[in-house]
Amino acid sequence: GAVVSQHPSWVICKSGTSVKIECRSLDFQATTMFWYRQFPKQSLMLMATSNEGSKATYEQGVEKDKFLINHASLTLSTLTVTSAHPEDSSFYICSARDKVGQDFYEQYFGPGTRLTVT
Amino acid sequence: AQRVTQPEKLLSVFKGAPVELKCNYSYSGSPELFWYVQYSRQRLQLLLRHISRESIKGFTADLNKGETSFHLKKPFAQEEDSAMYYCALSGHSGGSNYKLTFGKGTLLTVNP
């Protein structure tokens, strides 16, 4: 089956610094990837939709200048948390969309990246 | 706006007992409904989708448009079914409005 990887799986950074998270589709090409945020014991919240070769589409309330998304190739999307603050500490999950039928798609999820900002 | 409600945060049953995880949704068009499962220390994975109409690991879910529900059922729960279950909704997956909205999840514990 389709596999999505994320790197790093866990990162600690100091307040004010930036950190980049990578999301890769390992065995398929994904024109669309998604970035989610998950707080402890809560559900996944969609942050943005990442489209290869074009600008990401952010959900309401998500600061696009703070959460920079780049989808430069069909297998890689990156999320950069700029000027990180402790409240940005969270579990970030990406998914990649792949066609599974004539007219249907499925999202495959990465294992997530735990970000801790000190 | 699309919304998914899972009324139970926690559900505990004994092995061999029937289990039903409830999911209700709100969507103005024709939705696609999904159940995702997350086992301990593993990534989120698709369990089933309503258009497939199939049984996965003994689980079934029927879309009831009148009640706007998509409850997940299994007649005989197993210990390995213990996991977090998320109900999710989207517009047509081949369309431009394909965004998944997740419910808050139900943690199922199957006791021996």
The residue among B112, B111, B83, B86 whose CA lies nearest residue B101 is: B86
| Under 8 Å between Cβ of B77 and B13 | yes
Q: A35-88 pLDDT, tens per residue?
A: 999 988 788 999 999 888 888 999 999 999 999 999 889 999 999 999 999 999
The CA distance from A38 to B102, in Å, is 11
CB–CB contact A46 B104 (8 Å) = no
Q: Residue B94: its pLDDT value, please?
A: 59
* Six token digits for residue B76: 């005989």
Which residues in B lie closer than 8 A to residue A97 (C-beta atoms)? 98
Which chain A residue shows the shortest CA-CA distance from B4?
A43
The CA distance from A112 to B43, in Å, is 7
Q: Residue A25: its pLDDT value, please?
A: 94
Q: Residue B59: its pLDDT value, please?
A: 95
Tell me what the pLDDT averaged over chain A comes to: 92
The pLDDT confidence band at residue A105, using thresholds 50, 70 and 90, is confident
Site from B36, B44, B56, B101 to mutate, A interface, most A CB atoms within 10 angstroms: B44
Most confident of B15-19, B62-66, B96-100: B15-19
Q: Residue A101: its pLDDT value, please?
A: 74
Residue B53 predicted with pLDDT over 80: no
Q: What is the DSSP-derived secondary structure letter of residue A59?
A: P
With an 8 Å Cβ cutoff, the interface of chain A facing chain B consists of 32, 34, 42-46, 49, 93, 95, 97, 103-107, 109-112
SS (H, E, C) B25-91: EECCCCCEEEEEEECCCCCCEEEEECCCCCCECCEEECCECCCCECCEEECCCCHHHCEEEEEEEEC
Q: Which amino acid is at A106?
A: E
The residue among A14, A8, A34, A6 whose CA lies nearest residue A88 is: A14
Report the greatest alpha carbon distance in chain B: 45
Residue B92 predicted with pLDDT over 60: yes
The pLDDT confidence band at residue B96, using thresholds 50, 70 and 90, is low
| Under 8 Å between Cβ of B79 and B105 | no
Which of residues B32 and A105 earns the better pLDDT score? B32
- What is the percent of chain A with per-residue pLDDT over 90, rounded to a whole number? 73
